Amino acid sequence: MLSTVVRSKNGAVFLGHPAALLLSQIPPPLFPSSQRVEGKVHFLSKSVKNELDVDEKTGLVIYLLDKVVEIESPEIKNALKVFIGYDGRITIENKDNVAPYYDTKSVGQLPLSDCYAFAVTDKGWRVIADVWTVTCGKKQGKRRKRDVVRMELDTPFLNHRSLRNVVVAKSGDGVVDFLLEELHHSSAHLPATLIIILMAALRQLL
């Protein structure tokens, strides 16, 4: 089954194999302002998961891209990528063909959990990702600094006027679905300002 995004009172649910994206309609702020994406991802493991090999790329992806017109598939190539895996693996990865004096990626690891909270800050020249484990089914409380994995990655900033567009997606395979809760973009609440993009080209696979 190709994926879809289902709205619920608790958040957006990503189901099946990646074929849908959430695009924030909030215009990127002007530099030197920063923008922030935060929320909680609840991985909904299926009962057969332990009997199958799960793609290590399965998880939540936050893409930061200069131009929305560059979206041609659920896996966006020419964009900076923040990844939170179902197994607690976290990465920030620069877009393809980045200049050699920039690091390609930053990698971290959290304990295995069904739920992770996150806060991703885009400053234009640097992206910061704070991720930590949380209890599923509860509102986020005050996080302890020692529980947070923080990663930073310097990034090429070519626009020099506005920051990047925000796209939220699923990667990997359809064995693990997830629910996005308490999702915010900067000071705005995302569910009211998101559009769902279903990749029409992938319908041929049905």
Please, which pLDDT band fits residue 15 given cuts at 50, 70 and 90? low
The pLDDT value given to residue 199: 41
pLDDT at 30 over 50: yes
Q: Show Cβ contacts of residue 64 under 8 Å, excluding neighbours closer than 6 positions.
A: 79, 80, 81, 82, 122, 127, 163, 164, 165, 166, 167
Owning domain of residue 11: 4-205
Task: Indicate which CATH number applies to the domain containing 61.
Answer: 2.60.120.560
pLDDT at 70 over 80: no
Residue 61: which H helix or E strand, with range?
Answer: strand 59-65
HSE-CB at 62 with a 13 A cutoff on CA atoms is 29
pLDDT tens digits, residue range 144-187?
777 899 999 988 877 667 888 888 888 877 778 888 888 888 85
Task: Say how many residues make up the chain.
Answer: 206
The pLDDT value given to residue 89: 94
Sign of torsion over alpha carbons 54, 59, 65, 68: positive
Question: How far separated are the first and last CA of the chain, in Å rounded?
Answer: 8
**What type of residue is 33?**
S
The pLDDT value given to residue 62: 92
The pLDDT value given to residue 10: 67
Percent of the chain with pLDDT over 90: 23
The pLDDT value given to residue 156: 80
> Which pTM value belongs to this model?
0.81
Question: Whole-angstrom Cα distance, residue 126 to residue 179?
Answer: 28
Range among 42-51, 69-78, 109-118, 157-166 with highest mean pLDDT value: 109-118
Q: Count of domains in the chain?
A: 1
pLDDT tens digits, residue range 86-123?
999 999 998 766 667 777 889 999 999 999 999 999 99
pLDDT at 193 over 60: no
What's the chain's average pLDDT?
Answer: 76
Rounded alpha-carbon distances, angstroms, from residue 122 to 37, 49, 64, 69, 110: 8, 34, 8, 20, 22
**What type of residue is 186?**
S
pLDDT at 27 over 70: yes
Residue 148 vs residue 197, higher pLDDT = 148
Q: Which residues pair with 65 in a beta bridge?
A: 165
Please, which pLDDT band fits residue 9 given cuts at 50, 70 and 90? low
